[in-house]
Amino acid sequence: MAVEVTMPKFGLTMREGTIQRFFKAQGDRVNAGEPLYEVETEKVLYQVEAPASGTLAIAMFDEGATVECGTAIAVIAEAGEDVATVAARYSKSAPAHRASPATSPPATNQTAAVNPSQTAAPNASGRDRKTVSPVARKLASELGVDLDKIEGSGPGGRITREDVERAAKSAPAPSAGSAPSADRVAFRGVRKVIAERMHQSLRSSAQITITAEADVTPATELRARRSREFDFSYTDMMIHSVARALMRHPRMNARLNESGNDTEIVLCANANVGIAVALDEGLIVPVVNRAESKPLREIAVESRALGEKARAGQLKLEDVTGGTFTISNLGMFGIDAFTPILNPGETGILGVGRIVEKPAVYRGEIAKRAMLWLSLTFDHRVLDGAPAAQFLQSVIELFNYGA
């Protein structure tokens, strides 16, 4: 019996995913457990595995399509089934913009098999038609890249998104005599998702930010002493401090659960602390789970590994889900203070600035002290200013003197 492959739901907030590419073409042999297609969610790129072995009878959507969770993406014909019959049956319910696979010539081998999501692009003479994925065609239009001048690196010379991006980067700069033109960047992918989530966050919560300048000289001295034992950063110290402060102030470690007419505040049992990591294409927030139970050394190792995976594009879904609170540190960029925006669903986010040595009053005298601005944004629907301020005081205390 044919098996439908649906758009998975990776988290409570996920409503849809965007198909980035198929790893198999129509008519290809598929083995259960091997990657079938890649989907971009609001958090990561994820390879979806085939749920059964057989033959890919039809892909219901083009690459680049955004599909609701639970919707059939593709159909696998199991052993003994007639692939053409299965494809014809499902092609009736495929989106209107898809060509019917029943009219496609059968693939003679895996290399020659053509994914129904591929389209052909004739060159100027109308000869040597090239197969182009819809994602590559759309990107080429956005970047002004001539597809006729690209040699595809995909199966059968297919032009992929990577081919278009390479061509755009290697395009010659405009001549000195030509009129300057405005650069345009496609508003898509991670950048678009971040924009939508931040706008959603501001619309759906009552956000307010409080700030405090903290004397963190004891923390700098603590780091100088303990760094002889193992390598750790101020961000690691902040994760360690925030996690323990969340246990003291559970309302900051909560979610507002709105279901129909019923609304309740859900207090989370563990402090799963997210760390905002800046990437070239946007922002990602890997999570240190159960941080309240981990010593500083373990947090340092885990956060470093998460940062490396994020920059290498190797984060898995479990690395970026389940967060209950977020830390955004811009201190390394010379920023003193800023107003962070809540991750949707969370009650608090802490903005961390740079540590600056400057004159300050200490025990009644002017002395050189290490000072740090902290900016706490919280959802005023879940808690008020006074308990939020008490949480921030706890963070500063724990940052300076440990748990």
Q: How many CB atoms lie within 10 A of CB 107?
A: 18
Structure tokens at 127: 């000869």
Active site residue 384: yes
Q: Which is the catalytic residue, given 128, 146, 148, 384?
A: 384
Q: What is the DSSP string of 132-168?
A: E-HHHHHHHHHHT--GGG----SGGG-B-HHHHHHHH
Distance CA 403, CA 389 (A): 19
- Cα separation, 303 vs 289, in Å, equals 10
- Residue 97 known to be catalytic: no
C-alpha distances in Å from residue 142, one per residue of 164, 196, 279, 329, 375: 10, 21, 22, 33, 38
Two structure tokens written together for 367: 């002395």
**Following DSSP, what letter does each residue of 246-308 receive, concatenated?**
HHH-GGGGEEEEEETTEEEEEEPSS--EEE-EEETTEEE--EETTGGGS-HHHHHHHHHHHHH
Instruction: Give the C-alpha separation, 373 to 24, whole Å.
Output: 51
**151 and 135 Cβ atoms separated by less than 8 Å:** no
Q: Are 129 and 148 in contact (CB under 8 A)?
A: no
Active site residues: 380, 384
